[in-house]
């Protein structure tokens, strides 16, 4: 997506305001601006009914130098997984080394940040008075996408399973399937953005339908559904959360291994190591 510099600066309150922002704040603002623009584009197209079909999306596959399902850490330039583009944007950047015995905070800062979508979703859940476990699930719900966007709910659940409660893992795993299925009783609608990313005539495959049916009849359905309800795709300029806003909840509900994430021989360790060192040739 093209970014109009003047429009971006204007939206942030002018040149002086931008000059006073830190590098991280600017990176955040750019991401937010892109989400905002994306939402506006999608809304406009929905009005005019111009969404791609599944076949049209498939025809775009060979126009890219990377695959849509690849994790954010493994793709060039595009951090938002936008739907257009030939992948000829900026090269991947050199990542800082993680400290010894890396914690979730280290991964968040150096591999996931700015993570605006996660922080805003968690902040929304907090503002609604959700339980600490739901707030944590919202904060973690899309981290799988750093490693692998395809089936990101399952990747995310596998990453966190050894360190959080079964309920938090359940919520993260099943939010992926539940996002495709409206639940009018709790005010959850099919995301308009999915018409753009999956195609206007997309039908979720059998395993996603099965996962939805399973979760819907599960005693923890409400947890996973809450993640989808707080899954904030529209940028909210009134919410500017920081990872430190959730430190109490993380410290209470995320059991950090003494040897660090990736180095504790857990079933998820190799996945964390792949995020620590995505440049490993094998
Ligand atoms: Fe998600
Ligand atoms: Fe999300």
Q: 131 CA to middle of ligand 1, Å?
A: 19
Ligand minimally distant from the alpha carbon of residue 156: 1
Contacts of 279 (CB under 8 A, 6+ apart): 95
Q: 118 CA to middle of ligand 2, Å?
A: 7
Q: Are 215 and 221 in contact (CB under 8 A)?
A: yes
Helix/strand/coil percentages in the chain, nearest 5: 55, 0, 45
Q: 278 CA to middle of ligand 2, Å?
A: 22
Q: Which residue is listed with tokens 């395809």?
A: 150
Q: Are 84 and 42 in contact (CB under 8 A)?
A: no
Q: 16 CA to middle of ligand 2, Å?
A: 32
Share of the chain above pLDDT 90, in %: 65
Average confidence (pLDDT) over 2-24: 67
Average pLDDT, the chain: 87
Q: Are 133 and 223 in contact (CB under 8 A)?
A: yes
Share of the chain above pLDDT 70, in %: 81
Average confidence (pLDDT) over 276-282: 95
Q: Does 85 have pLDDT greater than 90?
A: no
Token digits of residue 113: 């940040």
Rounded-to-integer distance, Cα 208 and Cα 161, Å: 20
Q: 101 CA to middle of ligand 1, Å?
A: 28
Ligand minimally distant from the alpha carbon of residue 152: 1
Q: What would the DSSP string read from start to end of 143-167?
A: THHHHBSTTHHHHHHHHHTTTS-HH
Query: What pLDDT score was predicted for residue 66?
Result: 80
Residue 260 Cα to chain centre, angstroms:
23
Q: 211 CA to middle of ligand 2, Å?
A: 18
pLDDT one-digit tens code per residue, 104-155: 999 999 999 889 899 999 999 999 999 999 999 999 999 999 999 999 999 9
Q: 154 CA to middle of ligand 1, Å?
A: 10
Q: Where are the domains of the chain?
A: 1-282
Report the DSSP beta bridge partners of residue 183: 188
Query: What pLDDT score was predicted for residue 65?
Result: 77
Q: Which residue is listed with tokens 């659940």?
A: 157
Q: 2 CA to middle of ligand 1, Å?
A: 24
Q: 267 CA to middle of ligand 1, Å?
A: 22
pLDDT one-digit tens code per residue, 226-270: 999 999 876 677 778 999 999 999 999 999 999 999 999 999 999
Q: 219 CA to middle of ligand 2, Å?
A: 22
Query: What pLDDT score was predicted for residue 64?
Result: 81
Q: Are 102 and 276 in contact (CB under 8 A)?
A: yes
pLDDT one-digit tens code per residue, 38-73: 667 667 766 667 899 999 999 999 988 788 899 989
Q: 15 CA to middle of ligand 2, Å?
A: 31
Ramachandran sector of residue 2 (left: φ over 0; alpha: ψ -120 to 50; beta: rest): beta
Smallest Cα–Cα separation from 143: which of 229, 268, 280? 268
In 148-273 the beta strands, taken as DSSP E runs, fall at none
Ligand minimally distant from the alpha carbon of residue 155: 1
Query: What pLDDT score was predicted for residue 77?
Result: 59
Q: 150 CA to middle of ligand 2, Å?
A: 13
Ligand minimally distant from the alpha carbon of residue 230: 2
Ligand minimally distant from the alpha carbon of residue 224: 1
Tell me the torsion sign for CA atoms 53, 55, 59, 65. Answer: positive
Q: 141 CA to middle of ligand 1, Å?
A: 6
Provide the total of helices (H) and of strands (E) in the chain, helices listed first: 15, 0
């Amino acid at each position: 997506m093209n970014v109009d510099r003047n429009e971006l600066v204007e939206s942030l309150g002018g040149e002086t305001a931008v000059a006073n922002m830190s590098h991280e704040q600017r990176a955040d603002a750019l991401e937010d601006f892109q989400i905002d623009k994306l939402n506006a584009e999608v809304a406009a197209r929905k009005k005019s009914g111009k969404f791609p079909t599944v076949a049209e999306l498939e025809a775009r596959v060979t126009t890219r130098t990377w695959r849509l399902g690849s994790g954010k850490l493994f793709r060039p330039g595009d951090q938002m997984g936008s739907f257009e583009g030939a992948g000829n944007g900026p090269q991947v950047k050199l990542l800082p080394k993680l400290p010894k015995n890396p914690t979730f905070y280290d991964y968040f800062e150096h591999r996931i940040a700015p993570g605006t979508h996660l922080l805003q979703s968690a902040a929304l859940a907090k503002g609604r008075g959700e339980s600490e476990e739901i707030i944590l699930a919202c904060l973690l719900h899309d981290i799988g996408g750093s490693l692998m966007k395809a089936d990101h709910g399952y990747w995310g659940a596998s990453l966190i399973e050894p360190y959080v409660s079964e309920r938090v893992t359940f919520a993260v795993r099943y939010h992926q399937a539940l996002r495709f299925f409206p639940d009018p009783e709790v005010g959850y609608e099919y995301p308009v953005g999915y018409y753009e990313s999956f195609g206007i005539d997309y039908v979720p495959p059998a395993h996603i339908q099965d996962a939805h049916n399973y979760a819907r009849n599960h005693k923890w359905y409400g947890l996973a559904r809450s993640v989808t309800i707080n899954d904030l795709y529209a940028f909210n300029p009134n919410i500017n959360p920081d990872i430190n806003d959730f430190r109490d909840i993380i410290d209470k509900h995320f059991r950090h291994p003494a040897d660090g994430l990736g180095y504790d021989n857990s079933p998820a360790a190799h996945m964390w190591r792949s995020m620590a060192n995505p440049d490993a040739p094998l």
